[in-house]
């Protein structure tokens, strides 16, 4: 069954729920990530990419973690990077960073950055804490090579603000594609979540998230597709939720949430009569 959903608003709901390659300069003008006219979310909500930042070329996991820092661009020039190769990778968390962009070279061929499930099955691919104005672009992020064998999300955010995920693919076997707690102002733009195993999205105490032209597809989930708790102003615009398998017969599970919107979205459930929401 395929349904097109236009502007569904759920207000006050209580529902269940030092690098190889050296440094360069980035001389681009400042970028604000534009949302189409008519969106409920203003253009300046999700942060700005500032010009004249140092560019660090990334060829390996060691390059990547050594380059992490504020006010810089990490440009991934390798086709794929096993982050597990970094010595002491277990427990690595990106903390207290601002104005950092991590990007691949080409949106058509995103750089693959992954965690080897044979070595680390309980670690997120990228985990951010107390970070501000972070951009992930042209990346393919996930756990590899064994599907449905890990116990961690693909990307995780705690206490962060102004996050942009653009032209990225987040793939399993992550338990969730995105997990966020106490995080505000995240734009998930023209990106995909696939092959996850618990929820595609899990948000707690979050606000002002927009999933714009997003695709949530081909996830084999033991719970609902989208889990929201104590969150507000979470929007889905021009997005597709298609061909997911879930043990639950609903798409969104929300507890103590308000201002959850779906505008011009398509839900295809493979013929099952699933509900958009589970209400208690």
Residues 6 or more apart in contact with residue 108 via CB below 8 angstroms: none
pLDDT, tens digit (0-9, with 9 covering 90-100), for 257-267? 999 999 999 98
pLDDT, tens digit (0-9, with 9 covering 90-100), for 105-159? 999 999 999 998 877 778 899 999 999 999 999 999 998 876 666 789 999 999 9
The residue that leads in pLDDT, 97 or 24, is 97
Residues 6 or more apart in contact with residue 36 via CB below 8 angstroms: none
Give the integer Cα–Cα distance in Å for 165 and 121.
23
Q: Which of 70-74, 188-192, 212-216, 269-273 has the lowest mean pLDDT?
A: 269-273
pLDDT, tens digit (0-9, with 9 covering 90-100), for 166-214? 999 999 877 899 999 999 999 999 999 999 989 999 999 999 999 999 9
Q: Rounded mean pLDDT of 52-75?
A: 97
Strands (E), 59-206: 72-76, 80-82, 94-95, 98-104, 111-116, 126-129, 132-137, 139-144, 155-158, 161-166, 169-171, 178-181, 184-189, 192-194, 201-204
CB 247 within 8 A of CB 224: no
- Residue 246: pLDDT band by 50, 70, 90 thresholds? confident
- Residue 20: pLDDT band by 50, 70, 90 thresholds? very low
Does the pLDDT at position 17 exceed 50?
no
Does the pLDDT at position 220 exceed 70?
yes
Q: What is the pLDDT of the chain when averaged over all its residues?
A: 85
């Amino acid at each position: 069954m395929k349904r097109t959903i236009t502007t569904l608003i759920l207000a006050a709901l209580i529902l269940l729920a030092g690098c190889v390659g050296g440094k360069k300069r980035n001389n681009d003008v400042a970028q604000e990530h534009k949302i189409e006219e008519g969106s409920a979310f203003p253009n300046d909500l999700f942060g700005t990419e500032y010009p004249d930042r140092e560019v660090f070329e990334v060829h390996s996991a060691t390059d990547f973690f050594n380059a992490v820092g504020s006010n810089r661009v990490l440009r991934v020039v390798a086709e794929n990077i096993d982050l597990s190769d970094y010595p002491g990778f277990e427990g690595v968390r990106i903390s207290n960073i601002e104005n950092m962009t991590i990007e691949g070279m080409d949106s058509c061929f995103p750089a693959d950055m992954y965690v080897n499930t044979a070595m680390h099955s309980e670690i997120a691919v990228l985990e951010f804490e107390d970070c501000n104005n972070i951009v992930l672009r042209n990346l393919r992020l996930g756990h590899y090579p064994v599907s449905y064998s890990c116990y961690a999300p693909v990307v995780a955010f705690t206490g962060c603000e102004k996050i942009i995920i653009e032209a990225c693919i987040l793939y399993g076997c992550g338990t969730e594609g995105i997990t966020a707690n106490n995080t505000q102002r995240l734009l998930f733009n023209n990106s995909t979540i696939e092959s996850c195993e618990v929820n595609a999205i899990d948000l707690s105490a979050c606000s002002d998230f927009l999933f714009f032209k997003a695709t949530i597809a081909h996830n084999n989930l033991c719970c609902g597709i989208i889990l929201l708790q104590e969150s507000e102003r979470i929007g889905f615009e021009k997005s597709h939720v298609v061909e997911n398998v879930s043990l639950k017969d609903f798409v969104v599970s929300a507890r103590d949430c308000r201002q959850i919107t779906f505008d011009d979205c398509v839900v295809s459930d493979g013929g099952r009569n699933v509900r958009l929401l589970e209400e208690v």
